[in-house]
Structure formats: structure tokens, C-alpha cells
């Protein structure tokens, strides 16, 4: 009897090798190759050569067999299904699209299952929902279901709670199963409008010899679920694990296969959770939804700017910016601390912003304002634990650093928006009118922006005094009221 052949698959990128190596030759990851048995060749029908098939069916040259002109393709109105949460719908682009696949990833314990179970409960009153729990038993899911039911704003009596559960769970089907074949059979039998798989790494295809969660298992299970979801227009939500580096576990083809990739993030020391869209075929990417984790589930945060603003008392070294996450403006407070260093090399630390960006801004301030920042330690933090990646925060970072260095306080009600160039000039940023509108809504009265925006009239309509500047020195004089380059003596 022939010995079954084996090969090694990288759990990080899916590359295959005939022998074991400590380092994957494709992606460079260490100790990611796992051994798998080669599946026996399936007995399938042999494809007839194209020439023989054409002769047998007498196909006329130049005539299509299955394709059709794009103008002849019928159009169908895109009717999205609301998830029951406005923040979730915002990130999805307006709701779930029938037949779409959405992958939701995040760290363990961040709240992925809670978010999807709450959404399933909200959708069950309007559409049929199948929740496949491959990691928890049915009793565990039922306990969480009751806890979320008790978290409603108006606490019902015991009898009303049971009646509410019956009404909300009328179109909610629960299946605790890890076998892919049984899950596919249930999807075929029920044909639900929405199906939730928690999680894709826990499903197992018995025809494959590898363990659940391996590259081949995740790839084949996801492909099988995608085929049935597209065929019967079922919106499919998949929960995905992440690696210790924070990337989605499994082969990269999983992210290419689905229509949307969402990440659920949060600081374990903070209560708020951020839902981001990394990929979305039916909406904008980099959208942001904000939730707050409470003792009985997740709650939407409709005004997230309040989370990222400090107190009403102004202090030295703080500045306020307006960042944009997708189409959502967020008013965020930047905090800086500049102190004399005790070492030969000054310390630079940044939380919520790239440290290389901080180094660049400090170099611009030292070059064009003459501030000896190379002899000072500098610490920068974004309030609320938010990650700010866009360059529109540059002017706010510069103002916070200079204010801390000069021990100055920015006038209350001032926001700063602008990108800082290496030559000290201010560059315009996108969605400026939307940012100004959000700042005015929160009660800010002054805005320092790059020159040439043409929004003076619009800002006056918002009740904002627009201070335009062409360079960093001019902008800081407008914001602080003094020239930061002047020596205090």
C-alpha cells in the first residue's frame, strides 16, 4: 500500500512546501509550517477538450454560449437589511446586502460575539436569522441571550421578559455545530435572510484531513459557505480570529473572498469599542462605529467626540483637532509634555500617533521656529486611546508641543486642522467643511486652518471665526496669541 504523501502549509500565508523549514520562504514567518496529508484525487468527470465540445454542440463561431451583453443584465433594487444598530449600519455602508459575506475580526474577549448576537436579536423581528455557534454550546448562547434581553432600557417583569424573548426569538434559529456539512444542510433547509457563523476557524470539513483552523480548512469552509450564500441570497456574517500580531488568522484568500472585512478594536483599559471597515464592496472603507461595553452588552455611542475630549479646564500642552474616520468627524484632544532631558539622547514617546510623525514635526519646529527641542524629552498622547493616522492632526500636534514648551494655554474654543509640510508650510486637508461643522456643533468658536480654503462664509454661518495661515509660525501666532519663536528671556 502506497504511503500517503504529506506536505507542509504555512499558517500565515498559505504557501506550501515539500519539506519542513523553520522559516517560510514566501512570507518570512518563523515556525508557521504545519504538516498536512495530501487529499486523494477526486473521481470527477474529465473535461472534454474545447474543440470536441464545440463540434458536438455545433457552436457558431462568434456567438456566446452562456454570457450576455451587460445592457441585457436585469437591474434589481438593492434593499439593505438593517442590523438594528446605526453604528453597525454606518460601517456596513447602510446595512447588510443580501448574498454578501462580512468578516468580523478582533482580539479575544473584545465583544465580537456579543455584537453579532445583539444584532441577530434586533434583526430576528424583521427577518429570519440562523446563528451557528461552533465555539459555545447552545446553553451558553442562551444565557448570553437572556442577559442581553434584560439589558433593554425598560426593564420588563418576568412574564413580560419571557413574552419578549418568544417574540424576538420567533425567527431566530440556533445551531451549535462544527461540522460544515451539517451547517450547509441547515442553510439549505431554512434559507435564512441572515446567517452568523461563530467562528469560521472552528468549522471542520470531514473530507479534509487537516485540523480545524488550518489554512485548508478555513479556505474550503469559507468557499463552501460563500457559494450557498450567493445562491440563495443569504447575508453571511463570519467571525474571524486574529493572530498575536493582530492580523486576521487564516489564509489571505479569506479576506479576498468576502465582500467586507470589519475589525472590532478597543483598549482593554477603556470601555469603548471601535468598529472599522477595512474592506467594503458595498460602501466606503475606513468608516468608524463607536460602541461602549457595559455590564449587560454593547451600547451605541451616538456622539463619540465626547469620549475623546478632555475636561472643560484648559491646561498647558493641550490642543484640540478634528480628525475624520471615513465620513465621520471626531473632535479629539492632543496632550503633549516637553521636559528637560536627563540623558544624552532625548526620549520620544507617542500614544495614538506614529512616533515617526512626531519626530518629523519636532524637526520642523526646531528648524523653522528655532526651538531647541533636541535637548528636551517629548511625550504625546491622544485622549481616549484613539489612533489618529491622518496628517490633518499635524498642526494640533505642533501647537500642543509648543504650548507645553512655552507653558502656554490655548484660548478656549479653539480647534486646529492642517497638514504640516517639511518646509514649514500648511497644506490643505480633505472634508474641511465637515470638520468645521462638527467643531461648531460642539461649541467651538475659533478654527485655525490652512490658507486658501474658501470656507470663510460657510464658517461664519456655523458661528466659527476662521483664522487662515500659510505657515506653521503664522498659525501658532494666531492660535496662541504670541510668537512662540520669541525668547522668553
Q: Are 129 and 194 in contact (CB under 8 A)?
A: yes
Cell of 358: 512626531
| Cell 478582533, residue located | 106
Give dist(CA 426, CA 332) in Å, integer: 20
Burial class (CB in 10 A: 0-12, 13-18, 19+), 275: buried
Burial class (CB in 10 A: 0-12, 13-18, 19+), 475: buried
Give dist(CA 152, CA 154) in Å, integer: 6
Q: What is the DSSP letter of 23?
A: B
Q: What is the DSSP letter of 393?
A: G
The pLDDT score that the predictor gives to residue 168 is 53
Give dist(CA 444, CA 331) in Å, integer: 10
The pLDDT score that the predictor gives to residue 47 is 47
Give dist(CA 215, CA 14) in Å, integer: 6
Cell of 447: 478654527
Beta strands in 267-420 (DSSP E): 272-280, 288-294, 297-300, 318-325, 328-340, 348-351, 376-382, 414-416, 419-420
The pLDDT score that the predictor gives to residue 154 is 38
List average pLDDT for each run of 10 residues in the chain, which is 489 residues long: 69 80 85 74 50 53 79 81 93 93 92 93 92 94 87 45 52 93 95 94 87 85 94 94 77 87 83 90 87 88 80 83 88 93 91 94 94 94 86 95 93 94 93 92 93 89 92 93 69
The pLDDT score that the predictor gives to residue 59 is 55
CB atoms within 10 A of CB 51: 8
The pLDDT score that the predictor gives to residue 234 is 95
The pLDDT score that the predictor gives to residue 68 is 84
Residues 147-181: b if buried by 16+ CB within 10 A, e if exposed: ebbeeeeeeeeeeeeeeebeebbebbbbbebeebe
Cell of 141: 448562547
Q: What is the DSSP letter of 40?
A: P
Helix (H, G, I), strand (E, B) or coil at 16: strand
Helix, strand, coil distribution of the chain in percent, nearest 5? 30, 25, 40
Give dist(CA 242, CA 188) in Å, integer: 29
pTM of the model: 0.77
Q: Are strands 235-240 and 194-198 parallel, antiparallel or unpaired?
A: parallel
Helices (H) and strands (E) in the chain, counts: 13, 21
The pLDDT score that the predictor gives to residue 471 is 93
Helices (H), 124-261: 138-149, 158-168, 180-190, 215-232, 253-257
The pLDDT score that the predictor gives to residue 156 is 41
Give dist(CA 208, CA 381) in Å, integer: 49
Q: Going by C-beta distance under 8 Å and a sequence separation of 6 or more, which residues neighbour residue 39?
A: 207, 208, 209
Amino acid at each position: 500500500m502506497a504511503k500517503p504523501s504529506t506536505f507542509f502549509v504555512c499558517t500565515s500565508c498559505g504557501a506550501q512546501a515539500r519539506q519542513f523549514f523553520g522559516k517560510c520562504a514566501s512570507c518570512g514567518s518563523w515556525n508557521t509550517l504545519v504538516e498536512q496529508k495530501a487529499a486523494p484525487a477526486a473521481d470527477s468527470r474529465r473535461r472534454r477538450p474545447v474543440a470536441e465540445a464545440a463540434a458536438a454542440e455545433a457552436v457558431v463561431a462568434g456567438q456566446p454560449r452562456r454570457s450576455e451583453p451587460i445592457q441585457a443584465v436585469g437591474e434589481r433594487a438593492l434593499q439593505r437589511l438593517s442590523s438594528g444598530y446605526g453604528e453597525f449600519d454606518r460601517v456596513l455602508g447602510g446595512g447588510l446586502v443580501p448574498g454578501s459575506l462580512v468578516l468580523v475580526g478582533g482580539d479575544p474577549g473584545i465583544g465580537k460575539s456579543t455584537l453579532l448576537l445583539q444584532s441577530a436579536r434586533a434583526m430576528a423581528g424583521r427577518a429570519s436569522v440562523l446563528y451557528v455557534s461552533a465555539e459555545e454550546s447552545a446553553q451558553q448562547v442562551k444565557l448570553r441571550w437572556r442577559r442581553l434581553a434584560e439589558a433593554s432600557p425598560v426593564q420588563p417583569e418576568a412574564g413580560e421578559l419571557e413574552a419578549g424573548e418568544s417574540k424576538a426569538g420567533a425567527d431566530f434559529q440556533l445551531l451549535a455545530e462544527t461540522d460544515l456539512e451539517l451547517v450547509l444542510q441547515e442553510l439549505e433547509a431554512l434559507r435564512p435572510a441572515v446567517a452568523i457563523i461563530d467562528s469560521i476557524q472552528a468549522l471542520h470539513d470531514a473530507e479534509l484531513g487537516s485540523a480545524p483552523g488550518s489554512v485548508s480548512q478555513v479556505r474550503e469552509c469559507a468557499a463552501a459557505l460563500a457559494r450557498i450564500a450567493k445562491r440563495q441570497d443569504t447575508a453571511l456574517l463570519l467571525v474571524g480570529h486574529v493572530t498575536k500580531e493582530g492580523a486576521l488568522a487564516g489564509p489571505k484568500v479569506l479576506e479576498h473572498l468576502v465582500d467586507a472585512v470589519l475589525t472590532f478594536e478597543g483598549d482593554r483599559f477603556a470601555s469603548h469599542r471601535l468598529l472599522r471597515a477595512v474592506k467594503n464592496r458595498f460602501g466606503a472603507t475606513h468608516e468608524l462605529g463607536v460602541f461602549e461595553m457595559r455590564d449587560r452588552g454593547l451600547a451605541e455611542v451616538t456622539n463619540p467626540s465626547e469620549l475623546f475630549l478632555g475636561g472643560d479646564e484648559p491646561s498647558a500642552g493641550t490642543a484640540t483637532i478634528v480628525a475624520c474616520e471615513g465620513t465621520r468627524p471626531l473632535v479629539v484632544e492632543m496632550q503633549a509634555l516637553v521636559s528637560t532631558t536627563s540623558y544624552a539622547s532625548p526620549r520620544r514617546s507617542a500614544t495614538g500617533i506614529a512616533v515617526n510623525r512626531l519626530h518629523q514635526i519636532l524637526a520642523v519646529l526646531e528648524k523653522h521656529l528655532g526651538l531647541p527641542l533636541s535637548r528636551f524629552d517629548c511625550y504625546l498622547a491622544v485622549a481616549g486611546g484613539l489612533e489618529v493616522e491622518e496628517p490633518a492632526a499635524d498642526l494640533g500636534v505642533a501647537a500642543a508641543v509648543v504650548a507645553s514648551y512655552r507653558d502656554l494655554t490655548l484660548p478656549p474654543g479653539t480647534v486646529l486642522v492642517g497638514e504640516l509640510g517639511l518646509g514649514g508650510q500648511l497644506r490643505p486637508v480633505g472634508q474641511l467643511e465637515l470638520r468645521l461643522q462638527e467643531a461648531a456643533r460642539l461649541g467651538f468658536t475659533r478654527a485655525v486652518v490652512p490658507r486658501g480654503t474658501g470656507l470663510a462664509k460657510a464658517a461664519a454661518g456655523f458661528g466659527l471665526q476662521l483664522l487662515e495661515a500659510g505657515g506653521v509660525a503664522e498659525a501658532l501666532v494666531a492660535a496662541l496669541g504670541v510668537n512662540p519663536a520669541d525668547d522668553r528671556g
